[in-house]
Chain A
Amino acid sequence: MTSAEEAIEWFGGLSLFAGQVLRDAFRRPFEFTEFLRQVFEIGWRSAPLIVLSGLAVGAVLSMHTRSTLERFGAESMIPTALAFALVKETGPLVTGLLISGRVGAGIGAELGGMRVTEQIDALESLAVDSFKYLVVTRVAAAVVCLPLLTVLMNFSGLLGGFFAEAAISGASFAFYFQTAFSSLAFSDYIPPTLKTMVFGFLIGSTSSYLGYNATGGAEGVGRASTQSVVLSSIFLIVANVILVKGIFFLYPGSGS
């Protein structure tokens, strides 16, 4: 078999897998306890990473924004410009990529490990639908957690920007946040945040697919984990182009 055929077969497999996730997500019984556990794992335990990265990204973006806007004497626009940059693109994308790394690798390794040590067979032998129990819960948790983590990233970014700004110009907290939010409209904020649900779905299903179907012992698990990060990052970046295009199409005003 050629590698092109293999690639097509692999994509076919992933598409069927993702389709089954969507179907099973709405089919009883729901594995609610396991879903909550995954929200904790994927969402809550990623929070420190998101906050720290957000602070750093926001501070850096703010410094760049300042050096650009200073030339035009437009320093008062700094909070607005930073808010736009974060909310519309940087926040969702950086969150998506960070979670691809942390959660993609985690799901790939965890499910891969369970597959090669027969724990998935053991679940099935105990009359548990392993797909619903392991896969649907993880994908659903990723879909729910990504927008929330993105909001957290955006706020941390603004806060980081504020710290950077306050150090230079002594801007007040109230003034900074008021300026930042004053010109943000619904269509600026909601679509880019909600698009990260698609990122969550891509990360969750790609890494689950690789882990759930892992073969070849410990080496295979390592492979599944690495590929989960690489492929979910690539899919996310490509999907982002399409999503941004789609958002411009649906909310023409949000481009201005």
Chain B
Amino acid sequence: MSVPIHRGQDVSQPAIVVESVSKSFGSRTVLNDFSFTVPAGTTFVLLGRSGTGKSVTLKLICGLIKPDAGTVTVNGADITKLESRELAETRKHMGFLFQSAALFDSISVGENVAFPLRRHTKKADAEIRDQAQALLEKLGLGKEYDSMPGDLSGGMRKRAGIARALAVDPSILLVDEPSAGLDPITSREIDELLIEIGANRQATLVVVTHNMPSARRIADQMAFLDEGRLLAQGTVEEMERSEHQLVRDFMKAPQGG
């Protein structure tokens, strides 16, 4: 069997390796000698109570926060040691949905989605608008191209954030609580979309979620973050049989956390 190669990515090599990472803010230690590996083309779901450092972990992977100790390797390169230009090159292949969506509030929703295309492609204006519009439609926001982010509901902003993260067709997608604030039906649609991205495009996904039904549906691997480290890691079945009561309780909860 030949090893599938996707956009120059060697699938046999892990897409993300977080190794012995520690991170403190002032006197508060958030991550303490924390490690995990995400094989390329798989979906990794990160669970944990609020404030345990899940969002910080995603930012570490994107190089937005530097660890105090340890390494973060993305597609074979240590992201903490890259020059700003190399880091930018790596980020062109990453998509990031922020917990707060972080849409640019001075431009329209459609232009938010078009922004990375305008920056990183040489496509004509009409083509970029079409592409942004198509992405918005895919996320049920077809009518919102000209709306301003401030006029959208929280769930709509989240979906617009996903559209923007998908615009560059990323090989690594970091998703922070995609279904928070969404109704169950929309939430399920987002799951389907994430599964489709994981399966069809062979992208690597790291998803932070509190929504257990959703986590079960999309995860290849799960991990539970507690007190700066991974308390448990494994497949859904393995997590259900975890020796830790906290993890088992979390897995049972309909809306864990």
Contacts and interface: CB of A to CB of B under 8 A. Distances in A.
15 contacts: A117-B102, A118-B99, A119-B104, A122-B98, A123-B104, A124-B62, A124-B91, A125-B91, A125-B95, A126-B116, A126-B119, A127-B89, A127-B92, A127-B119, A129-B84
Interface of A: 113-114, 117-119, 121-129
A220 B64 CA distance: 21
Contacts, number: 51
B84 A121 contact: no
A216 to B, nearest CB: 13
Contacts of A129: 84, 88
A117 B105 CA distance: 10
Contacts of A113: 105
B83 to A, nearest CB: 12
B64 A121 contact: yes
Nearest to A125: B96
A127 B120 CA distance: 9
Nearest to B174: A125
A119 B64 contact: no
Given A125-B62, A125-B96, A127-B119, A119 B88 contact: no
Contacts of B92: 127
A23 B219 CA distance: 45
Contacts of A123: 104
A6 to B, nearest CB: 14
Interface string B51-63: 0000000010011
B interface, how many residues as a size bin?
A: 20 to 34
A125 B119 contact: no
Contacts of A124: 62-64, 91
Contacts of B115: 126
A118 B119 contact: no
Nearest to A37: B106
A128 B103 CA distance: 14
Nearest to A118: B102
A125 B120 CA distance: 13
A122 B119 contact: no
A125 B119 CA distance: 12
Given A121-B59, A121-B64, A126 B91 contact: yes
Interface string B94-122: 11101110111100000000011001100
Contact of B119 (A114, A119, A121, A128): A128
Contacts of B96: 122, 125
A124 B62 CA distance: 9
Contacts of A127: 88-89, 91-92, 116, 119-120
Given A124-B64, A125-B62, A127-B88, A117 B119 contact: no
Nearest to A110: B106
A32 B241 CA distance: 57
Contacts of A128: 88, 119
Nearest to B119: A128
A72 B62 CA distance: 73
Nearest to B58: A125
Given A114-B104, A127-B119, 8 more contacts: A118-B100, A122-B96, A123-B104, A124-B63, A124-B64, A127-B89, A127-B92, A129-B88
A124 B115 CA distance: 12
B91 A119 contact: no
Contacts of B102: 117-119, 121-122
Contacts of A122: 96, 98, 102-104
Contacts of A121: 59, 64, 98, 102
